[in-house]
Amino acid sequence: MALAEIGRRGETGVDRAAFSAEDRAARRLLYVWAGECGLEASQDSIGNLFLRYPGRSGELAPVLTGSHLDSQPSGGRFDGAYGVLASLEAVATLSRAEIRPARSIEVVAWSNEEGGRFAPGAMGSQVFAGARALADVLTVRDAAGVVLSDALAETLAALPEAAPRAAGPAPSAYLEAHIEQGPRLDRADVPVGVVVGIQGCLWLEYEVVGAAAHAGTTPHEYRRDALQAALELICRLREMCLKRSPTCRFTVGRMAVEPNTPNTVPGRVTFTVDFRDADPVGFAELGRELRAACIGAACIGAACIGAAGALQACELHVRELFHHVPETFSKHLVDVVATATRAQNYPEFELVSGAFHDALFVAKVCPVGMVFVRCRDGVSHNPLEYAAPSDVTAGARVLMSALLQLAAE
């Protein structure tokens, strides 16, 4: 709650953009708290902030744990910040109990996970994992024209006590605690979840080209109505996906209609499909079929061309905006989190993450696992985001148990 005062908007909202004054204040507060636990601070070139609890064997690869401190422009108190503080609390508890495992444990606050100010997000974890080059992101500008390299330099300089991070071995494992940002734990009445992976995600943009025409004078049989064709296409694509993969997610979130006046038959409609599936085979197969719409409506199958026939009259183009295959977490880390959950006497509930997290990128360099905690009504990216004290405690307990196990290995 003290951290949520930094960038607070209204009663419970938070606006803490990456590399902003608020972000710098949050990093300093984290540094101060970590210092009280005797942790050693360092920063890397993209501004990821590391707080090290040294293990008995300095030469072993550390266990990494954390999340991010930046927020959505109209975000809440828990997304990201919870995972950083749960990690700190877990390590602080070990420190107070004078438990010193073989491996070091490093708490990390990843830079710019949200990407709301400087796109894209997950920048810190991507640069850390080598998924994106530092040089590529330094020239990114925010809406006000500020270049990232300047904002980053100011952020690094604001914490001179943190040493430049020394090169070292890749972590032996990475664990991230996070609010679920979805309703499954809440509906199942379970405080914590064992995350087994992150859904694959495919963003496609469809363009349907018909012919604009006067709504009053053009009989239906002469129309090439791009909106009616788009509706038909969406219905067919959605049905195809949900029928073949009942657990997939199919969302049309963005749509643009041209010329978009009441009395003109639409001549052009574009819409996006956000398709997600946890199963790598289903994700690949359905992704192929969704993309195949670009070679004409025929690809959807002759039976799918409805009675209205609007689709037949229009041209269809598809382009890919984004694509990430499903990530299945290391079985060992899933087991460690599940064991920790049972050890803390919470029911074991496995689930797949619907959203991305820094863990998705860190998985490129070491095994990763995640602990989810229940959030009220599944609401996130919203000032109303809420997780109960008993649930955030549960998540931190599971995290601590799991970290202890991993640091002993």
Q: Residue 163 is encoded by which pair of tokens?
A: 């040493």
Q: Which segment (10-18, 22-30, 90-98, 218-226) binds a second copy by CB under 8 A?
A: 218-226
Q: Is 253 in the site for a second copy (CB under 8 A)?
A: yes
Question: Per-residue x/- marks for a second copy, 175-194, CB under 8 A?
Answer: -----xxxxx--x-------
Is residue 202 within a helix (H) or strand (E), and if so which, with residue range?
strand 200-209
**Distance of closest approach, residue 378 Cβ to a second copy, in angstroms:** 6
Question: Residues 203, 206, 349, 361: which binds a second copy (CB under 8 A)?
Answer: 203
Say whether residue 255 binds a second copy (CB under 8 A): yes
Number of other residues whose CB lies within 10 A of the CB of residue 367: 19
Any alpha helices (H) in 79-159, and if so which ranges? 81-96, 123-128, 134-138, 148-157
Beta bridge partners of 249: 276
164 is a site residue for a second copy (CB under 8 A): no
* Sole window of 18-26, 29-37, 214-222, 361-369 interacting with a second copy (rule: CB under 8 A): 214-222
Using rule CB under 8 A, residue 217 touches a second copy: yes
**Are the CB atoms for 61 and 103 separated by under 8 Å?**
yes
Whether the Cβ atoms of residue 280 and residue 328 lie closer than 8 Å to each other = yes
- The nearer residue to a second copy, 54 or 115, going by C-beta atoms, is 115
**Residue from the set 10, 145, 160, 216 that interacts with a second copy by CB under 8 A:** 216
199 touches a second copy by CB under 8 A: yes
Contact positions with a second copy (CB under 8 A) in 312-341: 321
Assess 57 for contact with a second copy (CB under 8 A).
no
- Of residues 87 and 353, the one with the C-beta less far from a second copy: 353
| Distances in whole angstroms, Cα of residue 325 to Cα of each of 322, 348, 384 | 10, 26, 31
Radius of gyration of the chain (CA): 24
Helix (H, G, I), strand (E, B) or coil at 3: helix
Nearest distance from residue 387's CB to a second copy, in Å? Answer: 14
Kindly state the helix (H) or strand (E) to which residue 283 belongs, with its residue range: helix 280-292
| Under rule CB under 8 A, residue 124 binds a second copy | no
Site for a second copy (CB under 8 A): how many residues? Answer: 53
The piece of 47-55, 142-150, 230-238, 387-395 that touches a second copy (CB under 8 A) is 230-238
Torsion angle of C-alpha atoms 185, 191, 194, 195, degrees rounded to 10: 50
Query: Which one of residues 102, 222, 292, 408 is an interface residue with a second copy (CB under 8 A)?
Result: 222
CA distance 353 to 357: 9
Q: Which amino acid is at 115?
A: G
Tokens (6 digits) for 271? 């819409």
109 touches 69 (CB < 8 A): yes
Which listed range, 121-129, 163-171, 265-273, 384-392, lies at the site for a second copy (CB under 8 A)?
265-273
Report the residue number, 100 or 376, with the smaller CB distance to a second copy: 376
Give the span between the Cα atoms of 250 and 273, in whole angstroms.
7
Residue 384 binds a second copy, judged by CB under 8 A:
no
Strand ranges, E, within 261-314: 264-265, 268-277
Closest separation in Å from C-beta 334 to a second copy: 19
Question: At closest approach, how far in Å is the CB of 187 from a second copy?
Answer: 7
Q: Which amino acid is at 119?
A: A
DSSP-derived pairing of the beta strands 315-324 and 213-214:
unpaired
Q: How far is the CB of 269 from a second copy (least distance, A)?
A: 9
- Residues 329/194, Cβ–Cβ less than 8 Å: no
Q: What does the block give as tokens for 305?
A: 């061309």
* Residue 15 lies near a second copy (rule: CB under 8 A): no
When asked if residue 20 is in the footprint of a second copy (CB under 8 A), the reply is: no
139 scored as a contact of a second copy (CB under 8 A):
no
Which C-beta is closer to a second copy: that of 235 or that of 388?
A: 235
b/e burial code for range 270-306 (CB count within 10 A of at least 16 → b):
bbbbbbbbbbeebbeebbeebbebeeebebbeeebbb
Name the residue with tokens 């990763």: 368
Question: For a second copy, what does the binding mask look like between residues 274 and 303, x meaning CB under 8 A?
Answer: x-x---------------------------
Question: How many beta carbons lie within 10 A of that of residue 21, not counting itself?
Answer: 14
> Which of 265, 340 has the CB closer to a second copy?
265
Note the residues at the interface with a second copy (CB under 8 A): 180-184, 187, 199, 201, 203, 213-220, 222, 225, 227-228, 231, 234-235, 238, 242, 247, 249-255, 257, 260-266, 272, 274, 276, 321, 353-356, 378, 380-381
